[in-house]
Amino acid sequence: MRPKVFVTREIPSKGLEMINEYYDVEVWDKYQAPPYEVILEKAKQVDALVTLLTDKIDCNLIKTGASNRLRIISQYAVGFDNIDIECATKNGVYVTNTPGVLTDATADLTWALILATARRIVEADRFVRTGEWYRTGTGWHPMMMLGLEIHGATIGIIGMGRIGRAVAKRARGFDMRVLYYDKYRLPVEVERSLCATYVDLDTLLKESDVVSIHTPLTKETYHLIGEEELKKMKPTAILVNTSRGKVIDTLALAKALKEKWIAGAGLDVHEEEPLPPDHPLTKLDNVVLAPHIGSATHKTRTKMATLVAENLIAFLKGEIPPTLVNKDVIKVRSPGFQ
């Protein structure tokens, strides 16, 4: 009998076709996420789940699944803060993610936000579109829409994993000075190849013109950037976040932007997603907002789907999935549905 998999949302077809060769696939076909109760019900019936970061995969759901037939959760994302990993490991449930394939798309989007925020692109678009430019009665003015010069500025990268390093690599094209802070320092050769200097968070915040966040969301990174940290930044600096919204204390940030402790922010991720249209951030001109689209290119989303499939297929063949998150699970149960 073919194992069953429940996929919590439509993903690019190439991945689904690959999975279909080995599994009986059921896809949740609504645009909105399935309610928790639906995933819980499915967890009782299936051998595998394909999940997204908007699906809450808690210990109750994992235990319920594991006491039936659930053996693997293949997450369609690099981040997995929505899944109780420790509980999955204990219960012999494999969890995989999609690292690597979305690194460059996310680094590109980070740069789109850095440039859009520094050069006030969205504000400028509104200025033209609403007729405000026309009403000034002048086509060009020496003091119009001045922003932060990126070329030659200092960028401070918080979290120097794959994405942080890809952002650093792109900074070289702008002749920037690159500072970084991470829990772990990189090997000196890697630092040298990135022309990046390791500093503590305090120094990074005080010296950077651009602060860009690339940490996973953990207990340690929750509200890593709050009022105190924002006050350490230069009044001319900008903050960019393409990691997880909860790494920043959003209300502190809204205050910082309103009171001009910093010049601007570019945010692809939010504490609350979707961000309500009446959120304090939406009232401010000096923030660029995007709806969590870091990996949203045709090419990357397809690669994520095929990696999700590769993980499921390897597991079914009794092999260790290529991008297994909870490696300790191997000691609890070997891969495969036997």
In the set 26, 149, 272, 273, the catalytic residue is 273
Which tokens belong to 3? 């194992």
In sequence order, which ranges of 119-200 are alpha helices (DSSP H)? 121-129, 132-136, 162-171, 188-194
Q: Which of 9, 71, 270, 292 is catalytic?
A: 292
Residue with smaller CB distance to ligand GLV, 163 or 263: 163
CB 72 within 8 A of CB 94: yes
Query: 77 or 148, CB closer to ligand GLV?
Result: 77
Distance CA 39, CA 28 (A): 10
CB of 217 to ligand GLV, least distance (A): 9
Task: List helix spans (H) across the chain.
Answer: 13-20, 36-43, 59-66, 85-90, 103-118, 121-129, 132-136, 162-171, 188-194, 201-207, 227-232, 250-258, 298-316, 329-332
Which residues does residue 93 pair with via DSSP β-bridges, in sequence order? none
Q: Using the CB atoms, write b or e for 19-34: b if 16+ within 10 Å.
A: beebbebeebeeeebb
Distance CA 42, CA 257 (A): 44
Q: Check residue 177 and report its DSSP letter.
A: E
Joined tokens for residue 242:
């393409």
Of 241 and 295, the one with the shorter C-beta distance to ligand GLV is: 295
The distance of closest approach from Cβ of residue 169 to ligand GLV in the complex, given in angstroms and rounded to an integer, is 13
Nearer to ligand GLV, 104 or 209 (CB): 104
Q: Which is nearer to ligand GLV, 163 or 240 (CB)?
A: 163
Nearer Cβ to ligand GLV, position 225 or 262? 225
In the residue annotation, 214 being an active-site residue is answered as: no
Known catalytic residue: 292? yes
Examine the residue annotation and report whether 71 is marked as an active-site residue of this protein: no
Q: What tokens does 50 get? A: 């394909």
Positions that interact with ligand GLV (CB under 6 A): 53, 77-79, 99, 102-103, 161-164, 214, 294-295
Q: What angle do CA 267, 271, 276 make, to 5 degrees?
A: 85
Q: Note the residue count of the chain.
A: 338
Minimal CB distance to ligand GLV: which residue?
Answer: 161
Residue of 244, 270, 301, 310 marked active site: 244
Gap between the Cα atoms of 90 and 58, Å rounded: 13
Q: Which residues are catalytic?
A: 244, 273, 292
